[in-house]
Amino acid sequence: MTQKAYVRATKPTLIFGIIVTAAFLIFGIIFFVVLMKEGSGIGMAFMAFFVFIILLMGGVYIHNLRNYNKSVESNVAEEIVIGDSTLIQATGKTGVTFDDKLRKLEGLRKEGLISEEEFRKKRTEIIEQKW
């Protein structure tokens, strides 16, 4: 049994990302203007690319913040598949169902590996567990 999990940024992280992106955008624009006054063509090209990338990053942050309470898939950073071993480690549950435990216990009794008294005691424990 596998499950999907979605990894996404928290609201404070998105807000912080927008603030940092705005600071980098201001820096990029100021630096672009300085390079424009000096006439550095390659520097201006690099800063134009820098500003473009910063605008894309800011757009992603703003999109994710605006859609934060909507579906998870619309603003997810990554979708991961959780395997059985990961679920066991995270939840402490083995994934063994109630009836699986009883069938295994019955098999142990039939094979003579446990006594009738041990069987009844363990069966009572299993039945009293939350399921």
Query: In angstroms, rounded to a whole number, what is the distance separating the alpha carbons of residues 121 and 131?
Result: 18
* Residue 1 tokens, joined: 């049994």
Name the amino acid, one letter, at 109: R
Alpha-carbon torsion 9, 10, 14, 19, what sign?
Answer: negative
Residue 49, judged by CB atoms within 10 A of its CB (0-12, 13-18, 19+), counts as: exposed
pLDDT tens, position by position, 90-106: 555 555 677 788 888 88
Domain boundaries, the chain: 3-93, 96-131
pTM to 2 decimal places: 0.54
Q: How confident is the model at residue 74 (pLDDT cuts 50, 70, 90)?
A: low
Contact 94, 88 (CB under 8 A): yes
